[in-house]
Amino acid sequence: MNVLTKIGRYLWKFFVGDSFQFVALIVAFGIVALLAHPLGAWDGLVAFALVATIVSVDAWRMARPAPHT
């Protein structure tokens, strides 16, 4: 069990790392999947916009001042 936990933590850290991106991407592609039928090819634009937003927010998160400063 301990070994499995360690392996799980390693895989999580390696593939996911920051849970913000992971959760944001799941939500984003959930929306994309729901809109695929009504929007057709325009859904690609939604996918791009959501991913670009995640990247932008992530870059902004890195640049924001630390709470104690």
Partner 1 sequence: MNWGFAATAFGASAVEFVEAAVIVVAAAAMASWGPALWGSLAAAGVLAAVTAILGETLLHLVPLGLLRGIIGALLLLFGVKWLAKATYRIGIAYKPHHGLKEMGGAKVAFAAAFNGVLLEGAEVVFIILALGATGRALGSAIVGAAVALVLVATATGAARRLLNNVPEIALKYAVGIMLTSFGTLWLGEAVGVPWWGSDASVIWLALGNLVVSGAIALFLRRGQSVPSQSTATGVQA
In the complex, which residues of this chain contact partner 1 (CB under 8 A)? 14-18, 21-22, 25, 29, 32-33, 36-37, 40-41, 43-44, 47-48, 51-52, 54-56, 58-67, 69
How far apart are the C-alpha atoms of 9 and 54, rounded to whole Å? Answer: 24
Contact of 31 with 53, CB cutoff 8 Å: no
Contact of 28 with 47, CB cutoff 8 Å: yes
Min dist CB 9 to partner 1, Å, is 15
Nearer to partner 1, 1 or 14 (CB): 14
Tell me how far the alpha carbon of residue 69 is from its chain's centroid. Answer: 28
Min dist CB 8 to partner 1, Å, is 16
